[in-house]
Structure 1
Amino acid sequence: MRFLLTVVTLLSLCATSTLSAAEKSKHVLLLGIDGCRFDALTKANTPNLDKLISRGIYSPTALIQGDRYRKSDTVSGPGWSSINTGVWADKHGVIDNGFGKPNFEKYPHFFHYVKLALPEAKTVSIVDWTPIKKYIVSSADVSIDTTEYKKSVVDQYDIADEKGVNDAIRLLDDVHPTALMLYQGIVDESGHTFGFHPTVPEYISAIEKVDQRVGKVLEAIEKRTDEEWLIVVTSDHGGAGKGHGGGHTNPDIMHSFLIVSGAGAEQGKFDQQVYIVDAVPTLLSYLGIDIDNQWELDGHVVGLK
């Protein structure tokens, strides 16, 4: 009898545990690290990004452009537009950093689709590259640009990145976002100032600063034990020398990276080519949102169990 009671108790505990995991609410974080080369990331001391990689699936060679259209420049405007909308530049209309003829009404920021499917969901965007907030972001309950202009642009992004992380941690408690987009800009600006290469100490240092800040956000998320998060990390481009424009034939510029991490992610390394536009459909699918063909997304769901 005692044995039977023990078995029943254990089965009950297992059932309770399974039910508890199933009842966790799903949330997503899109973490953007501007101008970050993956070979530099692997050389830097990045325990927090390494943890995300170990808890998910990654590609060191995610492409920043597709096969269909390559007339857009290899710069931040098209890059962040593609990352946040899930479509290439011939659709969203951003071919450079001028944002001359954007088509975000037809191909909106992914928050639009979150709100469409989950009207009660809260969405938060925190950036310090102003055009993202000015042009790309829509359907955000909270949209913040932490830019503070300083004499040194590297210092400007250093301060703004830190503020963005602090805002993200605060808003996790205040808003309880279903979808959070957090951008960090110091790596790109360090590349422009000192050089985009794993041998450049200042570039490596900037990546390590971002990793430390990412650790603070991960710590805050891990405390939210009633939530299950999928975290997607990517960049808008790489870099060579002190730039990245016109880099269509340079893999150091054309290659970004993609990390899909969390309990809902596969493990290991992608064995197929992935693209920065894959971030949006992956995030949406994880939230249980069906991808409508009428949205004309160019990206595909990747890395989910």
Structure 2
Amino acid sequence: MRIARLLSLLLLAIAAPLSAAEKGKHVLLLGVDGCRFDALQKAKTPNLDRLIADGIYSPTALILGDRYQKNDTISGPGWGTINTGVWADKHNVQGNQFKKPHFDKFPHFFHYVKLADPKAKTVSIINWSPIAKYIVSSADVSTDTASSGKSYDKADADAAAEAIRLLEAESPTAMMLYQGEVDEAGHAHGFHPSVPQYIAAIENVDSLLGPVLDAIEKRTDEEWLIVVTSDHGGSGRGHSNGHTNPDILHSFLIVSGAGAQRGKFNDQVYIVDAVPTLLTYLGIKIDDAWQLDGHAVGLKKSLTTDQTTSEK
């Protein structure tokens, strides 16, 4: 009887799915340009809502730090910061001109993923072309779905479809997916929860993200951490020179997945925290020489042994 029981337990162990500890870790940085969290809350966003429910969030992640606040509150500095984990005094993108960027010294976070594991697959899918042209590096696949005359809603749909395809084709360790329609709607109609077109754009982006999240969930032998943020908010039909305007200064940060805490952040978080959170989740020890300005946030304590501290 004892032998039979042992055999049964052995067969169950073999047939059982991989435990969380055995699953390979993967990360997605999801950027929704120009998205205000109060508008997101008003919109019908079942897919972003499930990420919030499966993680921890802040509705007031700051797009500027205490140390440096001279860059403009627009996309170039925002995405430069989000993708590198350093403020604009380091990556040196002060506006959308990218005159003298320092991405050689402060590179896209893919650089650190490949440094830790040269065999890791990295995939970037965007449709605001300066990200691909200036910021992305160390990408095995870098796709820009923008083209002349193509609307952002179409470019976003193409980006989401490409993300699903590349999940299967490349099995990326780290992926960045950008969606631009919300910002475009804000500039055309207004950045505010009361603006129907702005809300509609948020809802459309959310509908595109659903199949992407479904494709990730089907990868049952992998454990994904998804970090969602935006480069700025908006006020009226713009967001430039928003240094004293909370509607522009406040982005949001969602950290979602089995490795994330649950609830709402009690402490102030920043868009600069996205990169160290992703790297820490992947088990990559953050070197002080990288001079990252953020630190890992929202991860379960077992994953944050080596998280870096920072000067904001």
Judge same fold: TM > 0.5, yes or no. Answer: yes
Equivalent residue pairs, number: 300
Letter of the structure 2 residue corresponding to residue 104 of structure 1: F
Percentage of identical aligned residues: 71
Match of 1:197 in 2: 192
For structure 2, the residue ranges without an aligned partner over 5 or more in a row are: 301-312
CA distance in 2: counterparts of 1:9 and 1:58, whole angstroms? 43
Match of 1:297 in 2: 292
Deviations 1:214-251 (A, max 9, x none): 10100111111111100000000000000000000000
For structure 1, the residue ranges without an aligned partner over 5 or more in a row are: none
8 Å Cα contact 1:233-1:260 kept in structure 2: yes
Deviates more, 1:185-194 or 1:19-28: 19-28
- The residue correspondences of 1:202-213 to structure 2 (distance < 5 A) are 202-213=197-208
Match of 2:278 in 1: 283
- Determine whether 1:185 maps to 2:175: no
Match of 1:23 in 2: 22
Q: 2:153 aligns with which of 154, 158, 180?
A: 158
8 Å Cα contact 1:89-1:95 kept in structure 2: yes
Q: 1:7 to 1:295 in 2, by over 3 A?
A: same
Match of 1:47 in 2: 46
Deviations 1:174-200 (A, max 9, x none): 111100000000000000000000000
- Determine whether 1:121 maps to 2:116: no
CA distance in 1: counterparts of 2:185 and 2:217, whole angstroms? 30
- The residue correspondences of 1:1-305 to structure 2 (distance < 5 A) are 9=8, 13=12, 17=16, 20-150=19-149, 156-305=151-300
8 Å Cα contact 2:18-2:221 kept in structure 1: no
Q: 1:10 to 1:58 in 2, by over 3 A?
A: farther
Deviating beyond 6 angstroms after TM superposition, the runs of 4 or more aligned structure 1 residues are: 4-8
What is the TM-score with the length of structure 1 in the denominator?
0.94
- Displacement of 1:148: 2.2
Letter of the structure 2 residue corresponding to residue 20 of structure 1: S
Letter of the structure 2 residue corresponding to residue 57 of structure 1: I
- Displacement of 1:86: 0.1
Match of 1:23, SS state, is coil
Letter of the structure 2 residue corresponding to residue 38 of structure 1: F
- Displacement of 1:20: 3.4
CA distance in 2: counterparts of 1:113 and 1:291, whole angstroms? 9
Letter of the structure 2 residue corresponding to residue 212 of structure 1: S
CA distance in 2: counterparts of 1:281 and 1:144, whole angstroms? 24
CA distance in 2: counterparts of 1:110 and 1:172, whole angstroms? 19
CA distance in 1: counterparts of 2:15 and 2:71, whole angstroms? 52
Match of 2:19, SS state, is helix
- Displacement of 1:23: 1.7
Deviates more, 1:20-29 or 1:8-17: 8-17
8 Å Cα contact 1:148-1:159 kept in structure 2: no
